[in-house]
């Protein structure tokens, strides 16, 4: 049995009095009954989760929320040394507050991939990664709605990687307005890069399966050590957060940060973007093809029933793959990134948990001040192997009545939801084709202006889940999913992204997988069932959607876009 090097403190625990047995006591109080056997299998835990921000009084402001920018250095090694000194200075001259969060950041002259930095950190957990997608060639509808003049967000990271946790937010109960306010307590417009990265379960009320237990109903973290990749430069940052009311002092926070800093590696090698060369030994689908066909036919009967309000339901599949060697989730994500310039990439991994990674094309929402935008993405076709074939497939997608129905349900549902929280809503274009490396979809953007910034929580509750991952009407679709699907979606199809002081952005956690050492991976995919759907075609669509994952593991070159 590997020695235990990490702890996760949940509700009702006192990190100042940490001892190894307290881990098991704290988890038993929160119904994580299988922790003991799972923790014994962990071979690479290094950091700890100490302060759960959800335990604090969200009505009490922090004493300080601040960012201190140090002078620019030429390399990550120099940045690490500069931060170590700055943390020591902070310890000798502490801010005179009983609570607060301080970010120390060092700009680096050269651009280094955040995912390459993360891979160099020797699997230190907790770890997180979020890469924004490229929206080149698409109009920015937020420009018409955001009051921001651009000054605060000119330096928006392309990708962010983090290890350790200055403060985390997690609970078994569904994400609430109070939980959102607990997160907002640590954020400020004046410190735009202090952000809480994480996600929510697809179904907050569903039973949590063992593979998802360490994520809780939701999980967010402000990393202790963070690497930000910008266009043309980089930045290394260290963050401390403390609250004496939670028995987590500034002294505790600095000591924990220093322990994490000692593990930071500045020897960064660019990851090879070729396939991982891993062979898939076995593949098992839940549901199986034999069980999936009746499930689709059952859903179609309900949709066709004139007494049923259901017009669409999304049925998902979980595919367990076993490989001949362990899968490195960060190397896998880097490989997926080659084909995902037009997609978000993410990784969330709390201590003791598998890594949840994804390469999702779909945005849930992006907020800048009062401006908010979302999008409709539905219906799927493969890419063509020639320019002529590509145009044929695109024309078929645009003219298909079945796909138009599926897409229209998604677009109009999002439009109506935005109307409940925005003064006006713009849809542009009404329908177009969005092309990705292996597939293409029908696509439209929607944007509006919030009545107040505090409506951000309402964006989540209004937009999630979208008809693209659940169905319409949502509650009827969610009920049918619960009846039909025999596995836990966890955070698959849930909101994945970050909350920030003046800006927040969430993707939809599709095209995703849960990766655990020794256990292979669970790959998730879903298809929308509407009137006119065919079980065989839907099964083939599932195979197409997971192909970007399975083929990138094995010996296949990255696809190049067709011009």
Which pLDDT does position 40 carry in this prediction? 31
pLDDT at 303 over 90: yes
Grade residue 517 by pLDDT with cuts at 50, 70 and 90.
Answer: confident
Report the pLDDT value the prediction gives residue 46, as an integer from 0 to 100.
41
Q: What is the mean pLDDT of the chain?
A: 87
Measure the N-to-C terminal CA separation of the chain; round to a whole number of Å: 53
pLDDT band at 522 (very low <50, low <70, confident <90, very high): very high
How many CB atoms lie under 10 A from the CB of residue 415?
A: 18
pLDDT at site 147? 59
> Which distant-in-sequence residues (6+ apart) come within 8 Å of 54 by Cβ?
11, 169, 170, 171, 179, 182
pLDDT at 137: 67
Strands 363-368 and 280-286: unpaired
Task: Name the range with the highest mean pLDDT among 137-141, 218-222, 377-381, 462-466.
Answer: 218-222
Question: Would you report the helix, strand and coil content of the chain in percent, each value rounded to 5?
Answer: 30, 30, 40
| Mean pLDDT value across residues 354-359 | 96
- Region at 232 (left for phi over 0; alpha for psi -120 to 50; beta for the rest): left
| Annotated active-site residue in 55, 229, 362, 503 | 362
To the nearest whole percent, how much of the chain has pLDDT over 90? 73
Please write the tens of the pLDDT for every residue from 252-285. 999 999 999 999 999 998 887 777 878 899 999 9
User: Is position 312 annotated as part of the catalytic site?
Assistant: yes
pLDDT the model gives residue 554: 77
SS3 112: coil
Which residue in 123, 213, 312, 435 is the catalytic one?
312
362 flagged as catalytic = yes
Helix (H) or strand (E) holding 425: strand 422-435
Model confidence over 407-446: pLDDT tens digits?
Answer: 999 999 999 999 999 988 999 999 999 998 888 999 999 9
- What's the chain's length in residues? 563
């Amino acid at each position: 049995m590997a020695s235990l090097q990490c702890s996760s403190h949940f509700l009702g625990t006192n990190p100042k009095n940490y001892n190894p047995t307290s881990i098991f006591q704290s988890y038993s109080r929160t119904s994580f009954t299988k922790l003991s056997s799972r923790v014994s299998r962990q071979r690479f835990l290094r950091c700890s989760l100490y302060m759960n921000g959800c335990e604090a009084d969200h009505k009490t402001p922090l004493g300080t929320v601040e960012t201190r920018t140090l002078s620019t250095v030429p390399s990550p090694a120099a940045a690490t040394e500069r931060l170590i000194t700055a943390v020591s200075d902070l310890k000798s001259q502490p801010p005179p507050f009983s609570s607060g969060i301080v970010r120390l950041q060092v700009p680096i002259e050269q651009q280094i991939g955040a995912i390459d930095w993360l891979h160099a950190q020797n699997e230190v957990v907790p770890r997180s990664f979020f890469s924004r997608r490229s929206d080149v060639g698409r109009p920015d509808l937020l420009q018409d709605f955001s009051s921001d003049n651009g000054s605060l967000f000119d330096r928006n990271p392309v990708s962010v990687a983090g290890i350790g946790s200055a403060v985390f937010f997690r609970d078994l109960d569904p994400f609430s307005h109070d939980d959102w306010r607990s997160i907002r307590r640590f954020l400020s417009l004046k410190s735009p890069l202090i952000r809480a990265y994480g996600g929510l379960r697809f179904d907050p009320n569903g039973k949590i399966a063992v593979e998802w237990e360490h994520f809780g109903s939701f999980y967010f973290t402000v990393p202790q050590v963070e690497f930000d990749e910008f266009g043309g430069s980089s930045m290394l940052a260290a963050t401390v957060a403390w609250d004496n009311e939670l028995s987590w002092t500034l002294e505790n926070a600095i000591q924990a940060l220093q322990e994490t800093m000692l593990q930071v590696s500045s020897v960064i090698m660019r990851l090879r973007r070729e396939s991982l060369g891993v062979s898939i030994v076995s593949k098992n689908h839940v549901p199986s093809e034999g069980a999936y066909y009746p499930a689709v036919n059952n859903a179609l009967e309900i949709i066709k029933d004139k007494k049923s309000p259901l017009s669409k339901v999304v049925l998902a599949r979980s595919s367990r793959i076993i490989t001949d060697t362990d899968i490195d989730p960060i190397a896998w994500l880097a490989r997926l990134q080659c084909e995902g310039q037009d997609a978000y990439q993410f990784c969330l991994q709390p201590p003791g948990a598998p890594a949840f990674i994804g390469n999702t094309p779909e945005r849930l929402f992006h907020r800048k001040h009062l401006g908010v935008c979302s999008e409709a993405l539905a219906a799927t076709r493969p890419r063509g192997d020639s320019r002529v074939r590509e145009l044929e497939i695109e024309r078929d997608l645009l003219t298909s009545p079945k796909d138009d129905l599926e897409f229209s349900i998604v677009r109009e549902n999002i439009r109506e939801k935005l109307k409940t929280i925005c003064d006006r809503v713009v849809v542009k274009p009404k329908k177009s084709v969005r092309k990705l490396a292996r597939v293409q979809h029908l696509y439209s953007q929607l944007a509006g202006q919030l009545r107040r910034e505090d409506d951000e929580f309402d964006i989540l509750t209004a937009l999630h889940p979208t008809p693209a991952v659940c169905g319409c009407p949502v509650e009827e679709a969610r009920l049918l999913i619960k009846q039909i699907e025999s596995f836990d979606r966890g955070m698959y199809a849930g909101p994945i992204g970050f909350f920030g002081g003046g800006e927040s952005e969430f993707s939809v956690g599709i095209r995703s997988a849960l990766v655990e050492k020794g256990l292979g991976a669970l790959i998730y995919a879903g298809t929308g069932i509407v009137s006119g759907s065919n079980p065989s075609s839907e099964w083939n669509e599932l195979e197409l959607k997971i192909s970007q994952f399975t083929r990138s593991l094995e010996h296949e070159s990255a696809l190049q876009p067709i011009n």
